[in-house]
Chains A and B, each alone.
Chain A
Amino acid sequence: MSTLVSLRNLSKTYQRGPEKIEVLHGIDLDIDKGDFVALMGPSGSGKTTLLNLIGGLDSPTSGEVSVNGERIDQYGSGKLAKWRAANVGFVFQFYNLMPVLTAAGNVELPLLLTNLSAAQRKRNTEIALQLVGLSDRARHKPKELSGGQEQRVAIARAIVSDPTLLVCDEPTGDLDRKTADEILTLLQQLNKQHGKTIIMVTHDPRAAEFATHTLHLDKGQLAEQATH
């Protein structure tokens, strides 16, 4: 399999007041296309920071980030925004849906950045909602949905523009065990049946079992790697 994500000597330092905090140091990592990677580690180990750098939400202090052959660490904010829209889907712990929009509206939101017609956008939205099993809740607003359903809408929003990469930050952190398993099974399906490369930050070892690989971060460095 070819490499989708390639990190070389990646470091990230934050300035908090007078203090400099080095969150990641010298990370070297390759993630292949079609992988489902779980990123684990204690709080403050740099998992979310690493995920943000891979997803193009933040820029590294030094080192290289290549995704699908593109050096995104060299992109400015405008180019990075366009790249994210075309290449990455995001799933957050607290779903982060727009409360004023219906489930369908939330899923359609990323498509407003494309040149698709209204009819095409509607069709893609319906397909994405169908894929996550929420066709019957399309007209409901987030507050009318359960936590699991909200996360399914968030996943539909993440996949609607057919990105290569899905980055998920604690996608089951706010859900009960049963619902969490359903969401993880859905992510697994997206990985296996639709070939999506998924990088998922989690604290939960059971959630990590759904992934094909697990990476452990500790104090900003990759500690160990496991394959399931």
Chain B
Amino acid sequence: MTKTGFIIANLFRKKTRTSLTLLSVIMAFLLFGLLQAVNVMFNAGADFIGATRVMTQARVSFTQALPMSMLPKIEGVPGVARVAPMQWFGGVWHDTDQLIVFAVDPQRQHDAYPEWVMPESQWKAFANTRTGMVVGRLIADQYHWKIGQKIPIASNIYPQKNGSKAWAFDLVGIYDGKDENWQKATNGIFIQKDYFDEANQFGINGRTNFFAIRLADSAQAQKVCKTIDAMFENSPDETKTQTEKDFNVGFVKQIGDIGLMVRWILFAVFFTLLLVVGNTMAQSVRERVPELAVLKTLGFSDGSVLGFVLVETFTLCAIGGLLGLGLATLIGIGVQKSAGGQLPLSVDWHVWTAGAIAIVLLSLAVGLLPALRASRLKIVDALAGR
């Protein structure tokens, strides 16, 4: 037997209680890991490495549409291969399911996104059918849509000129992703921008939410972004150009101040955890007063007893914390893969370091008082049950 063995034996003396406490620590650190990763993702600086596409939106927000007249100017920037306008439609299926629907120029979309794979005949049909629509494989499979069907989709933003928000489109193509990652992202729908511009009641003809820009050379990404934004500086339509990855992150960021939300959620989680683990440790020490007194009787010093309780708390927090962070790492990898690498939710070493600090602080916060109580026990009183 070793001191470590003794500590672990004590930790698991009440298996159900320890397991439930451990579970709460695991859940807390799982949340900690994921939310910290979200925080890191939102606060990360621009990453231009390997970018094949950049996105230009209005500087204030992508909800503020940009004039289509910008398109030829952007396309003239050295390093730009092709520009595709994309307009958010706000699609809803059967009043409940939100769909990712963009009004696009079929040919430009085809050129700017070679990752979307579809037979040329279907691209042509899309270009030639004003009410045409193409959908990603995931969506087609989910709703069992077939080419040739007329699909009624409502928009939660744009009514038609007759005032109705119910639109109908002809499904003319189903696209796949060029590889496994892109296939996982085939959850979008494209409709014809020309038709949308003409038919919507708001008359936002000639404007678009953003431009997707395919680069001729990925090494030029940073330069292209700077050139485009400089070109429209001090104009009524100032722009913000960023990599596709950063754009996607920014899209999610529209929800609100993610950092603040993360901090408040973590505060609530750790405050609860403090109470749960603190109560467990206090209870555990209370139950063991005579045993702790025996340890002291045998010659273990006050410091050793303090150490036993603190190490026991630390072991509980460390096992739970590391398992939680490990799970968060796996989930982060899963999310990255399922988003085709477009959401860099990475539980990286920054998160693990923060997690390790949190484990130590949590252990001290919940373990110190019971440990001090244990170390200050008077042997004769504790043995006499006083």
Residues of A with Cβ closer than 8 Å to B?
A: 49, 52, 55, 57-58, 77-78, 81-86, 90, 92, 96, 98-101, 104-105, 108-110, 112-113, 118, 121, 157
27 A-B pairs in the complex with CB atoms less than 8 angstroms apart: A49-B380, A52-B380, A57-B380, A58-B380, A77-B302, A81-B296, A82-B301, A83-B299, A84-B298, A84-B299, A85-B300, A86-B299, A90-B297, A96-B290, A99-B13, A100-B6, A100-B10, A100-B12, A101-B1, A101-B6, A101-B9, A104-B1, A105-B5, A105-B9, A112-B6, A113-B298, A157-B298
* Cα distance A49–B384 in the bound complex, in angstroms: 11
Among candidates B5, B291, B297, B380, residue contacting A84 with C-beta atoms closer than 8 Å: B297
Given contacts A52-B379, A57-B380, A113-B300, 5 further A-B contacts (CB under 8 A): A81-B301, A83-B299, A85-B300, A86-B299, A100-B6
Interface centre among B295, B297, B383 (most CB of A within 10 A): B297
Evaluate contact between B6 and A78: CB separation under 8 angstroms: no
B236 to chain A, nearest CB (A): 75
Q: Chain B residues near A90 (CB, 8 Å)?
A: 297-298
* Cα distance A77–B380 in the bound complex, in angstroms: 13
Evaluate contact between B1 and A98: CB separation under 8 angstroms: no
Q: Chain B residues near A105 (CB, 8 Å)?
A: 1, 5-6, 9
B2 contacts partner chain A, Cβ-Cβ < 8 Å? yes
Q: Chain B residues near A81 (CB, 8 Å)?
A: 296, 299-302
Q: What is the interface residue range for chain B against chain A? A: 20 to 34
Q: Chain A residues near B3 (CB, 8 Å)?
A: 112
* Cα distance A121–B383 in the bound complex, in angstroms: 27
* Cα distance A86–B301 in the bound complex, in angstroms: 13
Evaluate contact between B299 and A110: CB separation under 8 angstroms: yes
A139 to chain B, nearest CB (A): 12
Q: Chain A residues near B383 (CB, 8 Å)?
A: 57, 92, 96
Q: Which 5 A-B pairs have the closest CB atoms?
A: A85-B299, A100-B9, A96-B294, A105-B1, A81-B301
A52 to chain B, nearest CB (A): 5
Residue of A nearest to B5 (CB): A105
Q: Chain A residues near B296 (CB, 8 Å)?
A: 81
A188 to chain B, nearest CB (A): 23
* Cα distance A99–B330 in the bound complex, in angstroms: 39
Residue of B nearest to A93 (CB): B383
